[in-house]
Amino acid sequence: MSLNNIRININMKTKSLIFAALFICCGSFSRAQTSITVAAGDNAANPTISKYIYSHFAEHLGHGIYEGFYVGDTSHIPNTYGIRNDVIAALKKMKIAALRWPGGCFADTYHWKDGVGPRDKRPAIINKWWGGTVEDNSFGTNEFLNMCELLGADPYISGNVGSGSVQELSDWVNYVSSDSKNPMSDLRKANGRDKPWKVKFWGIGNEAWGCGGNMTPDYYSNEFRKYSTFMTNWDNDNRIYRVASGANSDDYNWTETLMKNIPNDLIEGIALHHYAIIDWGHKSSATQYTEQQYFATMKSALYMDTLVTRHSAIMDKYDPKKKVGLIVDEWGGWYDVEPGTNPGFLYQQNTMRDAMIAGATLNIFNNHCDRVRMANLAQCINVLQAVILTHGDKMILTPTYYVMEMYNVHQNATQLPLVVKSEDYILGLGKLPAISASASRDKDGVTHISLVNIDPDHAHKISLNLDGKKFSSVKGNILVSAKVQDYNSFDEPGKIAPKEFSGANLKGNNISISLPAASVVVLALN
C-alpha cells in the first residue's frame, strides 16, 4: 500500500469519526420531547386515588417481624410494647395506610389461637415456608393490632383457608371485631383488650393456586363462598371487606372464574400478585446488576399496566359498576438474597432500580384507581423490596421508602387524567417507555404530578401541558443518584434522599422539564 493510500484511509477514517461524533452530539440535542397533557380542570366525575394504594405487607418471614418491627418489650432498642420507636416514626411519616399480615404463604399455616394469651404459654411451630425456623408466636393478633394503632394504619388480616377451617376464621373475626358478648369477645377481654379493634379488611386465603392449597379456580370459588358466608357481619360501623385470593400475574382465567362464580354480595375485593423479576430460576443481584438485567426487571415491572388493564376488563364484564376492587396485595422487585444471608429470609438491598419500580408502579395504580382500591408492597421491613432495613439498633430508609413518602400527596386525592407520549429507553433491540406519570388534586386544591424517568443514561425533556386550569407557581422534589445501582447502606445511610427540584419551568399553561436519568420527581402546583 502506498503512502498516499495510507493518508487517504486515515483521512477517511478521521472524517467518519467526526461525522459519527456530530451525529451523536446533534442527536442528543435533537432528542424529541416527551409530551404529557394533564386534564387539570375540575371534574366531579374523576375517581379518588385511595390511600390504601399506599399500603404494605408484613409476613412472618426472615427478619420482617422479629428484629424488624418487633424487638420485644425488654429490648435495649427504644420501643413501645415491643415495637421499635424508630420504625413507628418512619412509617407514620411515610403515611402507611394499611398493613397486611401474617402472610403470604405463612398465612395458610397460621392458626391464630396459637398467638394469643400469655406469651409463655403460646406453642412454638416450625415456619415450613421460610427457612424452617422456629416461630414462637410471641408476636400474634394482639401485638399486630396494637401495632397498627401505633402506626395509624388499618390492619389487613390474611386468613387461613389452606389448613384452617371456616369456624376458625369466623372465630377470629369475632375475636377482633365483635362488641357483643360471645366466647371470642370474652377471650379477647381475658387477654387484656376490652374494646374490639374493628378490623375491616380480610383476605380469605393467600395464593390458593399455589402455597395456599394448589386449588383450581372452580374449587377455590366454592371455598370462598363458604368462608365468606360465615364471615358476614351486619355492623354498619365496620362492614367487612372480603378479599378473594386472586390471580398469579397473567392468569386471566382465574379472575374470570372467580368473577363468574362468586355473587357480588359475598365479595368486596379480588387480589392480584405480580413481582418484577427477570426469571424465577435466574434472578439478578440486588446491587451488582448489569444494564441488561436492569432493563429486563423494568420490563417486568411495567407489565403491571397490562395486567391491571386486562384483569380490570374481565371484572368490568361482571361488575360494570366497579363494586369489587382490584387488590394488588403483593408487588415489588425480587432478586437474589444478599450474599451470606439465609436464602429463606429473602433479605435484599434496595437501589435506585427499586425507586424506579416503585414510582412507575404507583403511577400505574394511580391511573387505574377506578378499579385498584388497595396495593401492598412486598414487604415492609428486611424482606424483598423493603422500605426499611434494620441491623441491631440501626435503621436505614431505602430509596423505595422515599418514593412512597414523596407520593403520599396522592392519598385520597382526586385523580387527574393524563396522556403521556413518551420517548423510549432503548437498549439494543429492546425499548420501553422512558417516562411515566400520574396526577391528582388534593383537598386543599394543590395539584401534584409524579414523574419517573427509568432511562439510566439519558435525561429526558418533557413538555407538560396543563389543560383546564391556570397555575402561578411550581415547586418539586427529586430522588436521584449518580448510578442506578446506588443504595443506602448502614455505613452510608444518607447517600440517597429527596432534594429540592429546580428543573421545572412554568410558562402559561405549559411546564418544561428536564428530567435527569433514573430519577423520580413530584411537582406541586398552585
Active site residues: 207, 330
* Contact (CB, 8 A) for 38 and 418: yes
The distance of Cα 145 from the centroid of its chain, to the nearest Å, equals 21
DSSP E strands, 261-360: 269-276, 325-333
Burial class of residue 15 (count of CB atoms within 10 Å of its CB; 0-12, 13-18, 19+): exposed
Sheet containing strand 499-501, edge to edge, reads 48-49, 413-415, 435-441, 447-453, 519-525, 474-479, 499-501
Contact 44, 86 (CB under 8 A): no
Which helix (H) or strand (E) segment holds residue 218: the answer is helix 217-230
Whether the CB-CB separation of 405 and 420 falls below 8 Å is answered with: no
Q: What is the C-alpha radius of gyration for the chain, rounded to an integer number of angstroms?
A: 25
**Sheet with strand 418-421: strands edge to edge:** 418-421, 34-39, 460-467, 510-515, 504-507
User: Helices H, strands E: what count in the chain?
Assistant: 10, 28
| Half-sphere exposure in the Cβ direction for 357 (13 Å, CA) | 34
Lookup: cell for 79: 420501643
C-alpha cell of residue 457 = 443514561
Other C-beta atoms closer than 10 Å to the C-beta of 22 total 10
Q: Do residues 61 and 383 touch, judged by C-beta distance below 8 A?
A: yes
User: Mapping DSSP to helix (H, G, I), strand (E, B) and coil, where does residue 359 land?
Assistant: helix
